[in-house]
Structure 1
């Protein structure tokens, strides 16, 4: 029978003896490993798995006893079989010492080949059987671990599946129910109770109690479903509302399926209820948003139309530039409002957007607190600031390097006061008549926002003061983005 070869280490300082041992043990068919010194034997042991060590007792530098002691000190070789060979008469004390060092047997010289082979064969087989048992034991442990892990994984998967099912029902806000059509008995699961806002300990499931939780306008849905099943329907689906005991109204969608007997008579109806309240609310918000977007789009178009219609200029190029500037100002404030979901805009942000093209070398100084503007107020002020910046860049402080502009603002009693003060620019002469920019600014601030705009054309530079109400009540004459016909008419009058 074929078997796995094992390694037998032969240790002797005399080559002739090593050769003799090889000849004697060759018949065993094992791997013979040769070492001519104790140190070489130690090196081989560290590199190779050895079944049996045959070692000469008398060797220079490191004798057999010392070698055995060093081998036994290593945890890996504490059970390795060692057989001593001695060419001298060995006393009982020497034998005892050898056994203490870990020897399993002594072989005297001259060596009897049959005896040596028999001893080596016994320990080689023992080593082989031990290794085989270790392998079998390891395989058994591996199988046990694998089986245990498989069972644990299976249990974990079942547990996770149940958790996912429970989480899906809870997250999906679902409930299931069963109605015995013959006896009238109902069965609700936990999700069904949760949707209706009741508990099994205090709520008896029966047609009367269930109907009492339905919205009065949707009670007919239950009657219709019963009628459909009595007519032979096998499935029914509908949306309905419930009123929980705490007064909260919830939207649900119910799906039911009938079980029939051999005579096609309904004997049981089972179904699933899904709470769709959040979906309904989202649909309402979406519809509201669509209407709001439509409203804002119409207002923005109306405002743009008014800008195009009311802008005046002597040349086409000047007209185009004026219209583009005002529409761009409107687009910038729309971007700011969009980022806030049309909740409002910071005044400082509006000013930063408008002054960006003119902020040269510290010519402009800003001072004021953070002020949140309503959408309508932000749009109107953005256009007003655009007119002021455009006028200053053409004729005022921002038209020269030496010019300076200071913009300051404060809020008192929900009224924003903004001051615009120019200096260091060209000599200012009071205008003989107001241009469209000034007239439209006055009209928008006063008509649109119910505020006031004052101009002081000082020789050293324009001083403008705007007073604008901030509350919704005070600004109720306009809505988000609105530029109504009355305002258009006011601007028309302002434009002459």
Structure 2
């Protein structure tokens, strides 16, 4: 493998000498860097990593001694090897001064090529070995740090695991046990007694008593585990239920491991029991919620599909507006229901949401107690109220400033009765065909909720009466006392 080249700085103010040094040192195969003055040498040092400096003692402006002193003042170059070249006979005092400035050797002029190459090669190789040792030290330090961090992390994890185990045992969620397979002796810790709902003072741990606390449907799992260990299985894990003495059923997960002798015979079985009842209940709630969300999503899609399918209009714009209005009404009631975690919605809140788009002042009178509606009932009434408000604003009492609307409701024997009475608006006559409003009211209120939807097309204004059971019972109701065959879309009387 080729070794990495190092940089050798040649400093002299005479180009001929620099060229001679290059010729002498080129066979070393290192990188030769040239500087024709002390200042230029300093600039090179600041930009380049130098292994050896070959510098002429006698240079104008900044001689070799001065340059060496400046180099040694910099922390990076305090150990950089410097070789002085002197064309004059230096005294012992001058040599001492040079060594004090940081020189490692002197080369007299005329330069003997073999001697100069040998000296430079020694210091270049020393620099290379030093760097290699530094690199190895860094790698070793990195490995030590990594290993130390790994050990610290492992220790922290073990400590955290032990803390979690202690906390779990203290909270009654985990217990450990030991069963001497030969003598039949059992050992339970405090957590094990707590999980099974028994006390160490009154409960004797033996196979019969333990089996008595297992759920009848899970007893076979205990027998299966024992059989597996007799067949050579060394570890076993299963979920099972226990029935505490007070009758409470708890879910647990048990893990067991066998210890064998030299002949491979099981001599001891040890294990851990974890109470996972809360997790099981959470899973059941999550599954129930997923089914409920799926059910609600399908219902919402079915309602949206009915809205799109049953909406009629002569113009595309009217059709889009009608569909958007009905979808928005459905979205508003869904928002109300989501805020109550789908527990229900207040009837007055539904009416307020439908009133919000209109600025009707004192044209509307509301009267009735607070009524909590089930989600399905709230969805149905939200769409019904939307249809009634929309049609009244287009054709009925709310289409004129003189029109009046009274909405009254009451509850008796779990039956909600809502009365919608318009007056003071345009003359009204019964429509000739059913629209979306009538069909949705009849289908939802009567068929789904077991209620009644009744319409009376009076000339002075529509009178609508809705009867809706507030319980979950549904029934097929007959037609109302009023004519239910008309459209909820009112028509202005003509002539």
**TM superposition score category, shorter chain reference:** 0.5 to 0.7
**Cα distance, 1:375 vs structure 2:** 1.6
CA shift in 2, pair 1:203/1:461, >3 Å = same
**Cα distance, 1:478 vs structure 2:** 12
CA shift in 2, pair 1:431/1:20, >3 Å = closer
CA shift in 2, pair 1:230/1:401, >3 Å = same
**Cα distance, 1:114 vs structure 2:** 79
Task: Let me know the Cα RMSD of the aligned residues.
Answer: 9.2
CA shift in 2, pair 1:439/1:447, >3 Å = same
TM-score, length-scaled by structure 2: 0.61
Determine the C-alpha separation between the residues in 1 that align with 2:78 and 2:321: 99
Structure 1 stretch 360-369 or stretch 153-162: which is displaced more?
A: 153-162
**Cα distance, 1:410 vs structure 2:** 1.0
- Whether the 8 Å CA contact 2:388–2:488 is kept in 1: the answer is no
**Cα distance, 1:219 vs structure 2:** 1.9
> What corresponds to 2:472 in structure 1?
472
Structure 1 stretch 9-18 or stretch 242-251: which is displaced more?
A: 9-18
> What corresponds to 1:142 in structure 2?
142
Instruction: String of CA shifts for 1:80-103, please: whole Å, max 9, x gaps.
Output: 999999999999999999999999
Instruction: String of CA shifts for 1:348-384, please: whole Å, max 9, x gaps.
Output: 1111111110143333222211101122211111111
- Whether the 8 Å CA contact 2:254–2:272 is kept in 1: the answer is yes
Structure 2 spans left out of the alignment, 5+ residues: none
- Whether the 8 Å CA contact 2:427–2:492 is kept in 1: the answer is no
CA shift in 2, pair 1:469/1:126, >3 Å = closer
TM-score, length-scaled by structure 1: 0.61
- Whether the 8 Å CA contact 1:397–1:404 is kept in 2: the answer is yes
Structure 1 stretch 146-155 or stretch 205-214: which is displaced more?
A: 146-155
- Whether the 8 Å CA contact 1:358–1:398 is kept in 2: the answer is no
- Whether the 8 Å CA contact 1:443–1:494 is kept in 2: the answer is no
- Whether the 8 Å CA contact 1:428–1:461 is kept in 2: the answer is yes
CA shift in 2, pair 1:32/1:480, >3 Å = farther
Structure 1 stretch 82-91 or stretch 259-268: which is displaced more?
A: 82-91
Determine the C-alpha separation between the residues in 2 that align with 1:82 and 1:313: 99
Instruction: String of CA shifts for 1:251-280, please: whole Å, max 9, x gaps.
Output: 110111223334443322211101111211
**Cα distance, 1:194 vs structure 2:** 1.6
CA shift in 2, pair 1:11/1:366, >3 Å = farther
Instruction: String of CA shifts for 1:408-463, please: whole Å, max 9, x gaps.
Output: 21111211111222233334344455544234323432223222233333444322
CA shift in 2, pair 1:266/1:314, >3 Å = same
CA shift in 2, pair 1:228/1:241, >3 Å = same
CA shift in 2, pair 1:90/1:179, >3 Å = closer
CA shift in 2, pair 1:125/1:337, >3 Å = closer
Determine the C-alpha separation between the residues in 2 that align with 1:306 and 1:23: 97
Structure 1 spans left out of the alignment, 5+ residues: none
